[in-house]
Structures are given as C-alpha cells and as structure tokens.
Amino acid sequence: MRVFLLLGPPGAGKGTQARRLVEKYNWGYLATGDLLREEISKGTPLGNQIQPLVTNGKLVPDELIIALVGTHLQEGRDYLLDGFPRTVPQAEALDQLLRSRKATFKAAFLLEVPEEVLLQRIQRRAAIEGRADDNPETIRTRLQEYHTKTAPLIEYYRQRGLLYRISGVGEVEEITQRIDNHLSTLLKE
C-alpha cells in the first residue's frame, strides 16, 4: 500500500486534482472534508458534535479525525489523501498507522496558489455549490487555521524528503500534468 497526499490551502484545487488522479491511477480516495460533511448531513452523533466547528471553519479535534481515517483506510490498495493530515499530530498518527500496516508514504504534493486567487476561487465555488463554510467570514478563519496548523506540515514533509511543490495556477489539465511528471518517476520506484 502506497499513500500520496495533496496539501494546500482551501481553494488550492485539491479536490479537482484528486478526482483526476484517482481516476487515472485507480487509487482509493480519502477526503476528510467529504467524510465530515457526510456525517453532518446524516445527523450522526459525530456529525452533530463537529457541525459547529466545520460551519465556522475551525479544524475538528485530531482524535476524532484520526479515528475516522482509521476506519476508512482499507488495506491492500494505494490511496490519495485530500485534507488529511492537516496538523502535525495528525501526520504523526498517520505515520504510525502506515507503519503498522506496512504501507509507505510516497509523496506530499503542495499546491501553491497566491492568496488573492484562493479568495476568488472560493467565492466562485460558494456561488455554485453553496457550501455552508464558503462565506467571507469563515474563509478567513479557514485560511488562518491553514497558516497556523497545517502549513507546518510543509516543513514536516520537506525534512523527510517527501515534499513536491506544484504551482496550482493555470489550467486544470496543466496542473495535473505537473503532478504527473513527478508520479511517473515515483511510481517506478
């Protein structure tokens, strides 16, 4: 089992790129944001507990996320992770989980997009998808959460030689190609 990660701020295009890569390589796909929204829409106990946090753009506590991921990662297939890990403790928990399953973390692809472009993209998505957390107040909180809690992962994966910086500006297809260029080498190893 090999694991790849898409890292980057809200609006960087992780979900868009993820769908394309997962289809191309037939990987499993795990997006914690999607899993959490599903729990909320079903009104499960977990969903009710996290609903105010997600709606306000705050991160959900690490323990809840780690438990959720543990139940969704199936053995015996490669995975693309989107939106997890989002904190250093989550990354450490993932490393431990992967060790126990004899799996390898292969690469973290960091999608880099200037902040003004992020804001434009999220506003457009808000108009199209109507996500409850795509409003100006919440977007500010999500970007703050990213800078304080998630951005340290850039250094975490860089130190381990696992970080690949990808410009997230340009056509969707072009950005996929940038990631693919690295994958063609990584998948041969």
Residue 110 in contact with ligand ADP, rule: CB under 6 A: no
Q: CA-CA distance, 9 to 129, in Å (whole number)?
A: 18
Smallest CA-to-CA distance from 122 within 98, 139, 103, 100 is with 139
Segments in the chain forming alpha helices (H): 14-25, 32-42, 45-56, 62-72, 88-100, 115-129, 136-145, 152-159, 172-186
Binding mask 61-80 for ligand ADP (x = CB under 6 A): ----x---------------
CB of 93 to ligand ADP, least distance (A): 10
CA 19 to chain centre: 12
Quick check: 17 binds ligand ADP (CB under 6 A)? no
108 is an interface residue for ligand ADP by CB under 6 A: no
**Dihedrals phi, psi of 105, to nearest 5 degrees:** -85, 115
Smallest distance from the beta carbon of 80 to ligand ADP, in angstroms? Answer: 13
Edge to edge, what strands does the sheet with 163-167 contain?
A: 28-31, 79-82, 2-7, 104-112, 163-167
CB of residue 139 to ligand ADP, shortest distance in Å? 9
Provide the minimum distance between the beta carbon of 171 and ligand ADP in the complex, in angstroms, as a whole number: 20
Q: Under the criterion CB under 6 A, does residue 13 sit at the interface with ligand ADP?
A: no
Tell me: does residue 59 bind ligand ADP (CB under 6 A).
yes
What tokens does 149 get? 């809690």
Least Å distance, CB 35 to ligand ADP, is 8
Using rule CB under 6 A, residue 30 touches ligand ADP: no
**Residues in contact with ligand ADP by the rule CB under 6 A:** 10, 32-33, 36, 53-54, 57-60, 65, 83-84, 86, 90, 133, 142
